[in-house]
Amino acid sequence: MMMTYLLDVANHTGVVTRISLIFRRHGANLQSLSTAKTEHPGIVRIVITSEIERRPAERIKGQLAKLVDIFKVDMISHEEGTFRAFGMMKIACTLQTRPQILQLLEIFNGRVLELTTEWILVEMTGTPEQLEGLLTVLQPYGILEAVETGPIVIRRNSPRHAARQQPMWEVVPGALASANPTSGADSNSTQEMKRNGTNLL
């Protein structure tokens, strides 16, 4: 089963290693991993897709949540999120095939980046399935090179509060008093997570 993990992590050296070690321990291969900054400074969003069974996937989730560098672990199904990936493809292209390829690109919302008499370089943004679709229809013309980013995703029905909260650093008793009180999460969803026994944040 294809699993998608959304991780909010601290921007620390080695955090990707710690994460990938947990997947490796369960024999899970990472299909894609995309990591980039978010609207919060110091917080990085990592999206990982991996082909795993449900039980090890849950174990991985629990063990990820224990990592000190990870603020939040979320698993998301296909229906729950809006997925987008980006792809670039270099297609063999003659004078004869060029109109057909351009027509296909129009259907798929692809864009031409470069064009020569021998090949055409195109880009496309869409769901992983749409990218796959474009690749399939372009196959007969000859694909010289194709690259694709892993998907990034935003949960469609986010919790009630509009903005994602800045994860808090803990205020440790004994040390210098600091300003940030801990965040009051939505009580309903917290209870749900407690019931599952899998949330740690």
- What residue ranges bind another protein (CB under 8 A)? 10, 13-14, 17-18, 21, 25, 58-59, 62-63, 65-71, 167-170, 172, 175-176, 178, 182, 191, 194-201
| Residue 182 C-beta: closest distance to another protein, Å | 6
d(CA 187, CA 131): 39
| Residue 68 C-beta: closest distance to another protein, Å | 4
d(CA 133, CA 138): 9
Q: Is 178 exposed, middle or buried (0-12, 13-18, 19+ CB in 10 A)?
A: exposed
| Residue 159 C-beta: closest distance to another protein, Å | 17
d(CA 69, CA 42): 11
Cα 53 to its chain centre, rounded Å, is 19
Would you say 95 or 179 has its CB closer to another protein? 179
| Residue 75 C-beta: closest distance to another protein, Å | 14
Would you say 140 or 174 has its CB closer to another protein? 174
